Amino acid sequence: MPHVIIEYSANMESKIDVDGLIDAVHGAALETGVFPEGGLRTRAARRDNFKIADGHADNGFVHFILKIGPGRDEETKKKAMEHIFAAACDYLGPTYDSSPLGLSIEVQELPEILRINKNNLHEYVKARSEANG
């Protein structure tokens, strides 16, 4: 954990570099210092079926869902959320300035009892970091 899920309306695909947005958001999540690198997953999901505001075809959205495990105080979660959202807004600024676009973010804290995690990524990330000096 955490998992950052970027949902976006299909009409935004021609206006934004989705891979670049993933990179920007992933980097911002790491910059917070709150989340372990080996646990971070960032992905995007295009939404083909949507209706926004007055239904005009130009209206778009990008929504960020930050799913995290329990144990962080409210202020830490809020600061992390704000940092990630600011980075996303910076990245999307040109699109926001030229297109009707709704941006939003939410944090979902998942109870320990209702999730199972298994990964060996932490060890691989550490080994690569040590090898690269």
> pLDDT category, 95, cuts 50, 70, 90?
very high
Residues 9-20 pLDDT 10s: 999 999 999 999
For residue 87, what are the CA distances in angstroms to 1, 29, 120? 20, 9, 28
Check residues 44 and 116 and name the one with the higher pLDDT. Answer: 44
pTM of the model: 0.89
- pLDDT score, position 83: 98
Which helix or strand (DSSP H or E) is residue 75 part of?
Answer: helix 74-98
Give the CATH number of domain 3-131; options: 3.30.429.10, 3.40.50.150, 3.30.1330.10, 2.60.370.10: 3.30.429.10
Q: What share of the chain is helix, strand, coil (3-state, %, to 5)?
A: 45, 25, 30
Residue 98 has pLDDT above 90, yes or no: yes
pLDDT at residue 111, rounded to an integer: 87
Structure tokens at 5: 């899920």
pLDDT of residue 84: 98
Query: In the chain, where are the structural domains located?
Result: 3-131
